[in-house]
Amino acid sequence: MSEVAQVGSLNLTTDVLVIGGGPAGTWAALTAAAKGVNVVLADKGYCGSSGATAPSGTGVWYVKPDEKLREEAKASRFLMGGQLAEHRWMDRVLDRTYENMNKLGVFGYPFPVDEQGNPHRRGLQGPEYMKLMRRLIKKAGVRILDHSPALELLADEHGVAGAAGVHKQSGKTWTVQAGSVVIATGGCAFLSKALGCNVLTGDGYLFAAEAGASLSGMEFSNAYAICPTFSSVTKTAFYSYASFYHEDGSIVEGASSKKGRSVLARHLLEGRQMFAKLDGAAEDLRPLLRVAQTNFFLPFDRLGIDPFTQAFPVTLRFEGTVRGTGGIHITNESCGTAVPGLYAAGDAATRELICGGFTGGGSHNAAWAMSSGSFAGEGAAAYTQSLGQYAARRSPVGCSSSTLIRQEMRPGAAAKTEEYISAVQDEVKPYQLNLFRTEQGLTSSLNRLDGLWKEQRNREIQRSPEGVKAREAEAMTATARWMYHSALARTETRGMHKREDYQVTDNSQHHRLISGGLDKIWVKTEAVNKERVLL
Amino acid sequence: MIEFISATKCIECNQCVTVCPTNVFERVDDGIPVIARQSDCQTCFMCELYCPVDAIYVAPSPDGLTGVTEEELTNQGLLGGYREKVGWGKGRTSVASHDFHYKLSARSIF
Ligand SMILES: Cc1cc2nc3c(=O)[nH]c(=O)nc-3n(C[C@H](O)[C@H](O)[C@H](O)COP(=O)(O)OP(=O)(O)OC[C@H]3O[C@@H](n4cnc5c(N)ncnc54)[C@H](O)[C@@H]3O)c2cc1C
Ligand code: SF4
Ligand code: SF4
């Protein structure tokens, strides 16, 4: 624990604090505010442009409440996800997503309208969607702190009671005391520059673990996206239309977007450049594709390449847990955690409940973000209300595992942070370590990662923009360790988790892997479908 | 990666400083913002969208600079091209409402 709270340059007291202002965080803020409580939302970047959704656009798991359609929707990913999804959660998320998407229409999102005059609500353009969400939460009275990353949670013996952080543009510190906190900080893409993902460094996982919460499904954390070598745009859906080629123009056998990414990875590992061409898209389909994902075509247009007729070099860019499914362990229907007052939503929380160990080409993630955000917002508001008078009488302390200080860090600290970051990246990015997992590879990686954690944990970290980077390095290191400890424990292949030394699915391992701990990591199993406490 | 802010076009509104998620820009009193932390740029194109006068260019590659000039880009019609395609900015229709979305969804294989 670090120093006592309430010494920031900006000190606020509120009912609910939301950390992270992507879809999950803004829905949490909106639903909490609708329950009549005061809400503060702090984002590391700018709420409206930050996170994985904002620069992009997402297909959404929007399915009409028709029994047959819903059954098909639930079945579509169930097997691919290793049968780890739970029907009850899928039902709840389908219901809430349907409701929220319809609300977005009412709130003014410009859905396209078909010939019969029906709005088409199966996708959202990121910039438009997040601009609207910002407007809605402001209108609801939510106080937004932009460029204000949290550095740690605050807690007392009864549970979580706020957070402290820094405003990056002024260097000033902030402290928000709150009756409850929703973590909506997104996943962890390890600063790989996947589209919009460099703000997503696993901070929320670390905060939650420091407060005593656990994680779930961290073995499902090795998403790699097909991406031109010259681009950050990791939109992969359109590669369903792609053929893959060798340098000499011959076809790469077995390579495909859905089932053949490993083939691409194996060739890349051998040092062979892979090429793609979207030649499977019929001529009259191409203008439609160009409109559906404007940003997909942006890099090509800028370089004068026609991706439908010209082959272009591709690689697999690492997206970690952003398009994986692991995250903070959810212990009740309000997206609460094992720690009182702490809630988790969106990519920061586990998505296994609706997609098991695989998420593929999206839709589920966006649906989960808006639904879990709503569940968490409502849950957090109700929790704070239940505290009554007591909420005002708390004096929580910081939870950071490293000591957070006000003074300058030692000379050379920034360079050290850079070193830690690239050392972690060297463990999680390589296909031979993370995509094709083996006991030997994981164990040797963990030895190095444990060493990295020890070194960082003993550092003093300044409450400053520089310190934010140091905390990001710590969060990435911790995340990599939960990932690889879980991957080591799952001695089978299931969902996106592939073990070279255990290539088949083992029915006796049809369970979840819960993990946690900081200096010493633990992993245990939990049954799927276990009845959970209803709030 | 962010390449430049056009000194001739910029109207010093600081929108880019406000919206950049990774805080690449630095506000300057009575001047155009500076690109203070270029290596933090995540190539997300959000600054381009929010710049009201198409003064910003972000090159597609997230690694390294291309050294492309404003004149070259203007000649190729690339400055501000993304905003136009997304239908972002006053007087434009957002691509979000385009009927190709549902037409594609009736035919797509993903
Ligand atoms: C290129 C791409 C395409 C995608 N396409 C689809 C799709 O078609 N369909 C689909 O369903 N899903 C898709 N996804 C996934 C989808 O974008 C995510 O599931 C969704 O954005 C998750 O929302 P979120 O609010 O949990 O996280 P994010 O949108 O990532 O937001 C997290 C927010 O937390 C903030 N934050 C982080 N750390 C801190 C901190 N320490 N303090 C304060 N704030 C912090 C960040 O700044 C950010 O604003 C795609 C993802 C990518 C990368
Ligand atoms: S492209 Fe994105 S990260 Fe880079 S400067 Fe612009 S807004 Fe910032
Ligand atoms: S948004 Fe555009 S006009 Fe405004 S300050 Fe930035 S570059 Fe200049």
Cα end-to-end distance, chain A, whole Å? 31
Ligand nearest to the CA of B2: 2
pLDDT value for A360: 66
Domain topology for A412-505: Methane Monooxygenase Hydroxylase; Chain G, domain 1 (1.20.58)
A526 to each of A23, A125, A283, A345, A535, how far by Cα in Å? Answer: 29, 37, 50, 20, 20
| DSSP codes joined into one string, B50-81 | H-TT--EEE-S-SSS-----HHHHHHHT-TTH
The response to whether residue B19 sits with its C-beta less than 6 Å from ligand 3 reads: no
The response to whether residue B58 sits with its C-beta less than 6 Å from ligand 2 reads: yes
Please tell me the distance from the alpha carbon of residue A276 to that of residue A267, in angstroms, as a whole number.
13
pLDDT value for A310: 98
Determine which one of A121, A261, A490, A512 is catalytic.
A261
Identify the residue whose tokens are 């009275």.
Answer: A141
Q: Are the Cβ atoms of A45 and B50 closer than 8 angstroms?
A: no
pLDDT value for A393: 83
pLDDT value for B29: 95
Q: Are the Cβ atoms of B44 and A232 closer than 8 angstroms?
A: yes
Q: In which band, very low, low, confident or very high, does the pLDDT at A474 lie, cut at 50, 70 and 90?
A: very high
Q: Does domain B2-106 have CATH number 3.30.70.270?
A: no
Lowest mean pLDDT among A37-41, A61-65, A526-530: A526-530
Residues of B near A (Cβ–Cβ under 8 Å) read: 17-23, 27, 40, 42-46, 49-50, 59-63, 78, 81-82, 85-86, 88, 94-105, 107, 109-110
Nearest ligand 3 atom, CA B47? 1
Q: Does domain A223-320 have CATH number 3.30.160.20?
A: no
Name the residue facing A232 among B40, B42, B99 (closest C-beta).
B42
Please tell me the distance from the alpha carbon of residue A154 to that of residue A42, in angstroms, as a whole number.
14
A101-113 pLDDT, tens digit each:
999 999 999 999 9
pLDDT value for A284: 95
- For residue A275, the one-letter residue type is F
CATH of domain A2-221+321-398: 3.50.50.60
What ipTM, to 2 d.p.? 0.96
Q: Does residue A183 sit at the B interface (CB-CB below 8 Å)?
A: no
**Window 495-534 of A, Cβ < 8 Å to B:** none
Is the pLDDT reported for residue A23 higher than 90? Answer: yes
Is the pLDDT reported for residue A5 higher than 80? Answer: no
Task: Supply A341's token pair.
Answer: 């007052």
A367-407 pLDDT, tens digit each:
999 999 999 999 999 999 999 888 778 999 999 999 999 98
| Beta strands, E only, A312-417 | 312-320, 327-328, 342-344, 397-398, 404-405
Chain A nearest CA to B27, separation (Å): 9
Instruction: Collect all residues with Cβ–Cβ distance below 8 Å to B74 and sequence separation of at least 6.
Output: none
pLDDT value for A475: 98
**Reduced DSSP (H G I as helix, E B as strand, rest coil) percent helix, strand, coil of chain B, to 5:** 30, 10, 60
Q: Which residues of B touch A168 (CB under 8 A)?
A: 23
Residues of chain A with CATH 3.90.700.10: 223-320
Helix (H, G, I), strand (E, B) or coil at A68: helix
Is the pLDDT reported for residue B37 higher than 60? Answer: yes
Q: Which residues of B touch A44 (CB under 8 A)?
A: 21
Residue in B closest to A362 by C-alpha: B110
Q: Which residues of A touch B107 (CB under 8 A)?
A: 285, 288
Mean pLDDT of chain A: 94
A224-247 pLDDT, tens digit each:
999 999 999 999 989 999 999 999
A312-320 vs A143-145, strand pairing mode? unpaired
pLDDT value for A83: 94
Domain residue limits, chain B: 2-106
| pTM score, whole prediction | 0.97
Identify the residue whose tokens are 């389908």.
Answer: A94
Ligand nearest to the CA of A359: 1
What is the CA(B68)–ligand 1 centre distance, in A?
31
The response to whether residue B32 sits with its C-beta less than 6 Å from ligand 3 reads: yes
A63-118 pLDDT, tens digit each:
999 999 999 999 988 999 999 999 999 999 999 999 999 999 999 999 999 989 99
pLDDT value for A535: 31
Chain B nearest CA to A102, separation (Å): 15
Rounded mean pLDDT, A483-500: 97
Percentage of the residues of chain A whose pLDDT score is greater than 90: 91
Residues of chain A with CATH 1.20.58.100: 412-505
Interface with A, mutate which of B44, B78, B92 (most A CBs under 10 A): B44
Nearest ligand 3 atom, CA B13? 4
Please tell me the distance from the alpha carbon of residue A401 to that of residue A2, in angstroms, as a whole number.
8
Q: Of A231, A236, A313, A235, which Cα lies nearest the Cα of A277?
A: A313
| Cβ pair A100, A111 in contact under 8 A | no
pLDDT value for A362: 65
pLDDT value for A76: 87
Q: In which band, very low, low, confident or very high, does the pLDDT at A361 lie, cut at 50, 70 and 90?
A: low
Residue bearing the CA closest to ligand 3, atom 1 = B51
Rounded mean pLDDT, A132-137: 98
pLDDT value for A57: 85
Per the annotation, the verdict on A261 as an active-site residue is yes
Is the pLDDT reported for residue A216 higher than 60? Answer: yes
